[in-house]
Homo-oligomer: A and B are copies of this chain.
Amino acid sequence: MKYAAGIDVGGTTVKLGLFDDTGRLLEKWEIPTRTEEGGRNVLPDTAASLRGHLAERNASTADLLGAGIGVPGAVMQDGTVNRCVNLGWGVFSLTGKLSALLDGVKVSAGNDANVAALGEQWKGGGQGRHNIVMVTLGTGVGGGIVINDRILTGAFGAAGEIGHIQMRDDEPETCGCGKHGCLEQYASARGIARVAGKYLADHPEKKSALRTADHISARVVFNAAKKGDATAREIVEIVCEYLGKGLASVAEVVDPEIFVIGGGVSKAGPILTDTIKKYYVRYVFHASRGTAFALARLGNDAGIYGAARMVLSRF
């Protein structure tokens, strides 16, 4: 039996999956990400763990069709990684280094958001579609674009950085990227909490269960809205209007078949996709009003699926 390895490197853990050559997930596990010393141990730890799990199956790297890897940073089309701040990595050949650690198996590499998008396109919320945009609403707002079943990388590895589309010119606070008014500042988990706090402060007359919450998070806001809290609902509308308008701009560029919404915030469920779509239709060019919206389905496994897909789509 031949295997494909799918690897998803995060700032805290490295997720690994072994797939058979038909794309079935046989086994998945995690190891800690050792970010100390410039993250020099991350790839050797990963390779050693993978070898161990292969050995348990009486297999070795010779039984690998290849390994796919997603990392939190820009990866060029030639497999060069261009800094992963969270891992302490600089610029080097990610595919070359991991391949050398795995006895020369063929390695494919990509940015983690892009690789997760490929996973969702293959086996998740975008299954059956060839052109998708995945939107990850988590700590930040990430994006991944799949065109004709392939990841769109971009000239500088920055395709799909849709969290940094400019939404407002009058934003006084600074985004993590240094700009002002990025989509991420309104629609990430943190952005939603910030929008909520500001809305409550600006409208002292409005009653809301949010005023007595210990802590206002995106989850608390969406839960209150689902329970009928009118003020929370207004905040959801504001956030989803930013998202609908931002995704309309994305559709003006790539016109995807579907937007797949993932990340922690997407646990809110259909209230999120339905409300985004309501505003999307209002802002998008008429030809693209029929774009589908779906929730992501693979959760934290999207990365290992997409990484394995990069291997298996070569065959």
Which residue of chain B has the shortest Cβ distance to A131 in the bound complex? B155
Tell me whether B285 and A161 are in contact (CB under 8 A): yes
Tell me, in angstroms, the Cα distance from A251 to B286 when the chains sit together: 22
Mask: chain A, 145-177; 1 = CB below 8 Å from B; 0 = not: 101000011111111111011100000000001
Q: Which residues of B contact A165 (CB under 8 A)?
A: 249, 252-253
Tell me whether A162 and B256 are in contact (CB under 8 A): no
Mask: chain A, 250-262; 1 = CB below 8 Å from B; 0 = not: 1111111100000
Is A245 an interface position by the 8 A CB rule?
yes
* Copies per complex of this chain: 2
Is A291 an interface position by the 8 A CB rule?
yes
Is A228 an interface position by the 8 A CB rule?
no
Tell me whether A158 and B249 are in contact (CB under 8 A): no
8 Å CB interface, A199-242 against B: none
Tell me whether A256 and B179 are in contact (CB under 8 A): no
Q: List 20 A-B contacts (CB under 8 A).
A: A145-B253, A154-B256, A155-B255, A156-B287, A157-B287, A158-B255, A158-B285, A159-B254, A159-B255, A160-B253, A160-B255, A161-B287, A161-B288, A164-B252, A165-B249, A165-B252, A166-B283, A177-B285, A177-B286, A249-B253
